[in-house]
Amino acid sequence: MIRVDRSIVLQVVNFVALVFLLFRFLFKPVVKALDRRSQLIKGELQKIAEEKETLEKMKQSLLEEKKNLKEEYVRTIDQARLEAAKIKEEIVREAFEEGEKIRKEYEKRAKKEVEKLFSTMKEEMVNVAEEVIKKFLQSQITPEIQTQIIANMFEEAMKQLEAVMEVGHGQRND
């Protein structure tokens, strides 16, 4: 059997006092500190979760913005290509018009030069023919016959010259 003596009672009283003191001064503060630490950790975890959610929203927003920017980039590039094509067409058209204008101007100049040349040739031919006829007629023919021959020859020369000019004009128009 167990004997109960005073030392056991004192040990039990000491033990109960120690448990009370430990509970009062050590256990409660430790539990409070642990509760505070637990609350702090929960608060930090909640902040992290909120920040994670905020970052996820920002990520989605940035992805959407990136998508929109890419679409805008594609639209801008397409629009620039269309404008470049229009400008190219305008430049080609203007160059063609300028070329046509220059060509027409040179055709006018060439026509004037050809007409001037034919006129000069006609005058020279007439002068040469006149001189030849004068010399011939002075030596052999009477003045009346000379006049008639000159008129006939002049008329034939004019017909031939007009035919040559018509052929020349006809070839240039082709």
pLDDT, position 170: 61
> Does residue 77 fall inside a structural domain?
yes
Residue 92 lies in a domain: yes
pLDDT digits (tens, 9 = 90+) for 156-171: 888 888 887 776 666 5
Angle (deg, nearest 10), helices 143-173 and 28-140: 160
Note the pLDDT of residue 92: 93
What would the pLDDT profile of 74-118 be if each residue is shown by its tens digit?
999 999 999 999 999 999 999 999 999 999 999 899 888 888 888
Q: What is the pLDDT of residue 137?
A: 60
The DSSP line for 81-113 is HHHHHHHHHHHHHHHHHHHHHHHHHHHHHHHHH
* Separation CA 93–CA 79 (nearest Å): 21
Is the confidence at residue 1, as pLDDT, over 60? no
Alpha-carbon distance values, 100 to 94, 108, 110, 113, 134 (Å): 10, 12, 15, 20, 50
Is 19 inside a domain boundary? yes
Number of structural domains the chain divides into: 1
Confidence of residue 2 (pLDDT cuts 50, 70, 90): low
CB-based contacts of 137: which residues, under 8 Å, 6+ apart?
145, 146, 149, 150
Inter-residue contact 137 to 150 (CB < 8 Å): yes
Query: Would 50 be classed as within a structural domain?
Result: yes
Residue 84 lies in domain: 6-173
DSSP for residue 3: -
Query: Do the domain assignments include residue 159?
Result: yes
Its pTM stands at: 0.41
Q: Is the pLDDT of residue 123 over 90?
A: no
Whether residue 153 is predicted with pLDDT greater than 90 in this model: the reply is no
* Residue 1, domain member (yes or no): no
30-71, pLDDT tens digit by residue?
A: 888 999 999 999 999 999 999 999 999 999 999 999 999 999
Query: Is the model more confident about 110 or about 122?
Result: 110
Predicted confidence band of residue 15 (pLDDT cuts 50, 70, 90): very high
Determine the pLDDT at residue 148.
82
For 166, other C-beta atoms within 10 Å of its C-beta total 10
